């Protein structure tokens, strides 16, 4: 990488809208960085698919983003981070950051009673990736996990504060609340969109960990260690690519990011 690579964008992908929770933090913490975002909305959800399928989707997403000339790749999807991080690190010659370890680290520093809950997609929970990452840092911490498969379609649909969503959250979350957790990892990048609702259901004594902030810090650290930070770019650009464009994505994204999304394009990933 040369000095000129500093001006290249950061590539970020997710199965859909969830990765925008990471985009929002990157915009806040690293305002000079250009971003190219890929939401694989035609193939969402990833969390109910096999590891083999998610690895293959992640590889095609990474291929598309690297064809845009990025300097760093962020897998803004827990499901893909859990199963595809190693293979993408192996395949690519740029730094690759996943969302799982930053979230695990934050949970470890947040818990006081050493009882942590994790919620995620069926695939993330089955991989036990959070449990392993937490136990690696502190083997005394007890980890209780539960899958919440309906949260992703609720977030994609924009039902962020709906009574039906609340009933579903109630049903999913009772098992981890019962274990006496004081910290709950939102182990899917879609879930911070439902953060207010989840906080309401678990109560204010449980600290919710949204890894987006930690991921942005890790991006900052990695860019600075590799001398790749874009220091002066006040008119930074954001490009959004979707494998299926829906009106709900555009309106939820604009609402969530607090700005209009102008550069949004459809791509056919199988032909890219
Ligand atoms: N947002 C993703 C995650 O963090 C994937 C959700 C899905 O596609 O099932 O796991």
pLDDT, tens digit (0-9, with 9 covering 90-100), for 191-210 = 999 999 999 999 999 999 99
The answer to whether residue 148 is catalytic is no
Same-domain check for residues 63 and 119: no
Same-domain check for residues 63 and 42: yes
- Per the document, the length of the chain is 272
**CB of 47 closer than 6 A to ligand 1?**
yes
Residue 272 confidence (pLDDT): 66
Residue % of the chain over a pLDDT of 90: 85
Phi, psi dihedral angles at 73 (to 5 degrees) = -115, 135
Expressed in angstroms and rounded, the spacing between residue 239 Cα and the centre of ligand 1 is 21
Same-domain check for residues 119 and 146: yes
* Helix or strand (DSSP H, E) at 272: none
Same-domain check for residues 193 and 107: yes
Closest atom of ligand 1 to CA, residue 76: 4
Same-domain check for residues 159 and 82: no
**CB of 81 closer than 6 A to ligand 1?**
no
pTM of the predicted structure, to 2 decimals: 0.92
DSSP string for residues in 181-210: -SEEEEESTTGGGGHHHHHHHH-TTSEEE-
Same-domain check for residues 73 and 113: no
Same-domain check for residues 120 and 176: yes
Q: Which of 40, 41, 45 to mutate to test the pocket of ligand 1 (most atoms within 8 A of CB)?
A: 45
Same-domain check for residues 137 and 121: yes
Average pLDDT, the chain: 93
Same-domain check for residues 205 and 219: no
Residue 205 confidence (pLDDT): 96
Same-domain check for residues 259 and 188: no
Within 10 angstroms of residue 223's Cβ, the number of other Cβ atoms is 19
Say yes or no to pLDDT of 214 above 60.
yes
257 CB-near residues (< 8 Å, 6+ apart): 20, 23, 24, 27
Ligand 1 atom 8: residue of nearest CA: 45
Residue 261 confidence (pLDDT): 78
Same-domain check for residues 35 and 54: yes
Of 50, 18, 7, the residue nearest 191 (C-alpha): 18
**CB of 133 closer than 6 A to ligand 1?**
no
Same-domain check for residues 12 and 41: yes
Q: Which CATH number characterizes residue 64's domain?
A: 3.40.50.1860
Residue 137 confidence (pLDDT): 97
Q: Which of 13, 15, 103, 148 to mutate to test the pocket of ligand 1 (most atoms within 8 A of CB)?
A: 15
* Count of structural domains within the chain: 2
């Amino acid at each position: 990488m040369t000095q000129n690579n500093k001006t290249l964008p950061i590539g970020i992908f997710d199965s859909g809208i969830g990765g925008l929770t990471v985009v929002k933090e990157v915009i806040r913490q690293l305002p000079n960085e250009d971003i190219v975002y890929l939401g694989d909305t035609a193939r969402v959800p990833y969390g109910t698919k096999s590891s083999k399928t998610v690895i293959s989707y992640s590889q095609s997403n990474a291929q598309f983003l690297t064809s845009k000339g990025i300097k760093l790749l962020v897998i803004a999807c827990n499901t893909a981070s859990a199963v595809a991080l190693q293979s993408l690190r192996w395949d690519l010659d740029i730094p690759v950051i996943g969302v799982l370890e930053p979230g695990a680290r934050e949970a470890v520093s947040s818990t006081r009673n050493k009882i942590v809950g994790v919620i995620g997609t069926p695939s993330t929970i089955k991989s036990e990736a959070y449990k392993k990452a937490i136990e690696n840092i502190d083997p005394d911490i007890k980890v209780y996990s539960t899958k919440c498969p309906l949260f992703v379609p609720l977030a994609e649909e924009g039902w962020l504060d709906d009574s039906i969503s609340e009933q579903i959250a109630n049903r999913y979350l009772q098992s981890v609340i019962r274990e006496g957790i004081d910290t709950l990892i939102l182990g899917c990048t879609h879930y911070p969109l439902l953060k207010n609702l989840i906080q309401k259901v678990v109560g204010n004594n449980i600290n919710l960990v949204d890894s987006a902030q930690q991921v942005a810090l890790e991006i900052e650290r990695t860019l600075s260690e590799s001398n790749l930070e874009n220091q002066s770019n006040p008119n930074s650009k954001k490009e959004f690519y979707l494998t299926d464009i829906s009106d709900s994505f555009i309106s939820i994204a604009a609402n969530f990011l607090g700005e209009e999304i102008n550069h949004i394009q459809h791509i056919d990933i199988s032909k890219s």
